[in-house]
């Protein structure tokens, strides 16, 4: 009876009800849009950070990361590389030689991290090859190839085939300089990363970093069988923790880190996706509360005499309270599917097409964000919305319902 009465009551004034339903639907859509956008942005940032910079797990010699000194290398990196690469959950593993140094052109000098990679293995853990704007990625066909970011190239006036001099300390603390030639210019979505890295082949860098070992260990096309860093990309990032534990147990002398330890910002964003979606939902719902209160209050005040009559003929206060609450919830529940469907379709569209924010690409890249945001939304959000909406409606119904039950029937009946 109450449900039927509540349902018919909300259609007494269709314009007003449709207006508030439109606001609810728009609010739900906006909440899903914002949550999808932010989740997609964070997801893009995380993916970009992991696939361009950090990968899922990194292995170093225990003391290497203290000062990035070249002498702290993994001595049997080739064996470890093969062992890790043979695990089923591993998509790719790459050995890197890393040196802190300077890059100098005829027009400028910059402090830089020089990363020596095996180009073939590196493409299994990094999207760097796909970030090449001009020229090509390292191939190892010619000696002393180097790729540099477009920002750094611009700062020290480099272009394709420009010659640069890299200066750094080798594993014996000797200063080494060597000339490299730019074969490719890249651009990732992370400006600080672009500003701070150049890439060369490991086979070119290793003899310079490890001069004392190069003859004894035997240089191959992939460089020396030693490395400062092993980067591991997994089928799924959730597998990082199990691999980390396994490697720590097998290699107590090495420093194993998962991506959350490597990139605390990624860990922070990742842990906040759920909260951020919820925050957007709550903000929208709070805004809706006031709209719904206003509508329901009007509905109650203009039915004052009728509510008085209902109390006079024996409808008790709890029933009147429930009727007003039901009306409020119905308003929300009728509108929610529309907003949910619109939100779902919008998120789905932008998850495929992406939202192009190239106008703000410079600012976004400064924060490591992609200029095209592919929306993403945790499925649980689609359940949270109706639940929150019912909560919102309940919250919004309290005051009008209280107003309704606190009237004096004798006075209300005579109200014009």
Partner 1 sequence: MSAVISTQKVSKVYNPDKIPVHALSEVSVEIARGEFTAIVGPSGSGKTTLLNIIGGLDRPTSGNVEVGGFDIDALSDSALIDFRKNHIGFVFQSYNLIPVLTAWENVEFVLLLQKKPKAEREERVRELLRAVGLEDQMHKKPSELSGGQQQRVAVARALAPKPDYILADEPTANLDSASAENLLDIMAKLNREEQVTFVFSTHDQRVINRARRVITLVDGKISRDELREP
Using CB under 8 A, list all residues that contact partner 1: 1, 5, 8-9, 11-12, 305-306, 309-317, 319, 409-410, 413-414
Tokens of 47: 């993916």
Select 322 or 395, whichever has its Cβ closest to partner 1.
Answer: 322
Select 218 or 318, whichever has its Cβ closest to partner 1.
Answer: 318
Select 16 or 305, whichever has its Cβ closest to partner 1.
Answer: 305
Rounded Cα distance between 148 and 198, Å, is 5
Select 12 or 348, whichever has its Cβ closest to partner 1.
Answer: 12
Rounded Cα distance between 304 and 296, Å, is 12
Q: By the 8 A CB rule, do 88 and 99 touch?
A: no
Taking the complex as a whole, the smallest distance from the CB of residue 305 to partner 1 amounts, in Å, to 7
Taking the complex as a whole, the smallest distance from the CB of residue 10 to partner 1 amounts, in Å, to 9
Tokens of 110: 């910059």
Select 88 or 318, whichever has its Cβ closest to partner 1.
Answer: 318
Taking the complex as a whole, the smallest distance from the CB of residue 296 to partner 1 amounts, in Å, to 16
Taking the complex as a whole, the smallest distance from the CB of residue 414 to partner 1 amounts, in Å, to 7
Q: What angle in degrees, to the nearest 10, is found between the helix axes of 14-48 and 317-353? A: 40
Taking the complex as a whole, the smallest distance from the CB of residue 319 to partner 1 amounts, in Å, to 8
Rounded Cα distance between 339 and 31, Å, is 9
Taking the complex as a whole, the smallest distance from the CB of residue 15 to partner 1 amounts, in Å, to 16
Backbone angles phi, psi at 139, to 5 degrees: -120, -25
Rounded Cα distance between 111 and 365, Å, is 20
Tokens of 32: 């899903």
Select 146 or 310, whichever has its Cβ closest to partner 1.
Answer: 310
Select 11 or 383, whichever has its Cβ closest to partner 1.
Answer: 11
Rounded Cα distance between 31 and 279, Å, is 9
Give the closest residue to 189 by CA, choosing from 95, 50, 57, 349: 50
Rounded Cα distance between 96 and 87, Å, is 19
Select 1 or 175, whichever has its Cβ closest to partner 1.
Answer: 1
Taking the complex as a whole, the smallest distance from the CB of residue 8 to partner 1 amounts, in Å, to 4
Instruction: Report strand pairing: 175-186 vs 229-234.
Output: unpaired
Taking the complex as a whole, the smallest distance from the CB of residue 268 to partner 1 amounts, in Å, to 53
First to last CA, the chain: 27
Select 318 or 379, whichever has its Cβ closest to partner 1.
Answer: 318
Taking the complex as a whole, the smallest distance from the CB of residue 16 to partner 1 amounts, in Å, to 14
Give the closest residue to 199 by CA, choosing from 125, 267, 251: 125
CA distances from residue 164 to 59, 70, 140, 358 in whole angstroms, order as listed: 30, 21, 17, 31
Select 11 or 367, whichever has its Cβ closest to partner 1.
Answer: 11
Cβ neighbours of residue 410 under 8 Å, at least 6 residues apart?
A: 308, 312
Q: By the 8 A CB rule, do 113 and 148 touch?
A: no
Collapse the DSSP code of 8 into the 3-class scheme (helix H, G, I; strand E, B; otherwise coil) and give the result.
helix
Instruction: Report strand pairing: 197-201 vs 145-149.
Output: antiparallel
CA distances from residue 71 to 97, 111, 335 in whole angstroms, order as listed: 11, 20, 65
Taking the complex as a whole, the smallest distance from the CB of residue 309 to partner 1 amounts, in Å, to 4
Taking the complex as a whole, the smallest distance from the CB of residue 49 to partner 1 amounts, in Å, to 58
Select 354 or 409, whichever has its Cβ closest to partner 1.
Answer: 409
């Amino acid at each position: 009876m109450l449900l039927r009465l509540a349902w018919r009551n909300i259609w007494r004034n269709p314009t007003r009800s449709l207006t508030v339903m439109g606001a609810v639907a728009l609010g739900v859509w906006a909440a899903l849009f914002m949550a999808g956008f932010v989740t997609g942005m964070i997801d893009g940032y995380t993916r970009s950070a992991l696939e361009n910079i950090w990968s899922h797990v990194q292995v170093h010699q225990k003391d290497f990361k203290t000062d990035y000194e070249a002498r702290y290398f993994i001595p049997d990196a080739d064996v470890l590389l093969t062992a890790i690469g043979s695990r089923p959950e591993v998509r790719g593993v790459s050995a890197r030689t890393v040196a802190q140094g300077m890059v100098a052109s005829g027009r400028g000098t910059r402090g830089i991290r020089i990363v020596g990679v095996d180009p073939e293995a590196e493409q299994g853990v990094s999207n760097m090859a796909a970030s090449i704007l001009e020229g090509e990625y390292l191939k190892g066909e010619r000696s002393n190839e180097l790729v540099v970011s477009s920002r750094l190239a611009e700062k020290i006036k480099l272009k394709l085939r420009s010659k640069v001099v890299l200066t750094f300390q080798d594993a014996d603390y000797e200063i080494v300089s060597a000339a490299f030639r730019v074969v490719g210019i890249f651009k990732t979505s992370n400006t600080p990363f672009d500003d701070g890295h150049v890439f060369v082949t490991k086979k070119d860098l290793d003899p310079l970093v490890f001069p004392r070992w190069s003859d004894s260990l035997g240089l191959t096309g992939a460089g020396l069988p030693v490395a400062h860093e092993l980067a591991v990309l997994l089928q799924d990032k959730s597998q990082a923790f199990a691999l980390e534990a396994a490697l720590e147990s097998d290699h107590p002398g090495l420093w194993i880190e998962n991506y959350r330890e490597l990139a605390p910002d990624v860990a922070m964003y990742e842990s906040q996706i759920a909260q951020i979606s919820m925050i957007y939902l709550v903000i929208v719902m709070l805004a809706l509360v006031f709209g719904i209160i206003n509508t329901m209050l009007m509905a109650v005040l203009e039915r004052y005499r009728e509510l008085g009559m209902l109390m006079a003929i024996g409808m008790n206060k709890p029933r009147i309270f429930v009727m007003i609450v039901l009306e409020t919830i119905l308003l929300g529940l009728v509108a929610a599917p529309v907003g949910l469907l619109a939100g779902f379709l919008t998120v789905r569209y932008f998850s495929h097409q992406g939202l192009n924010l190239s106008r703000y690409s410079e600012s976004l890249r400064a924060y490591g964000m992609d200029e095209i945001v592919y929306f993403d939304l945790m499925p649980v959000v689609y359940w949270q919305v109706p639940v929150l909406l019912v909560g919102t409606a309940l919250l919004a119904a309290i005051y009008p319902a209280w107003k309704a039950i606190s009237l004096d029937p004798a006075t209300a009946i005579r109200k014009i």
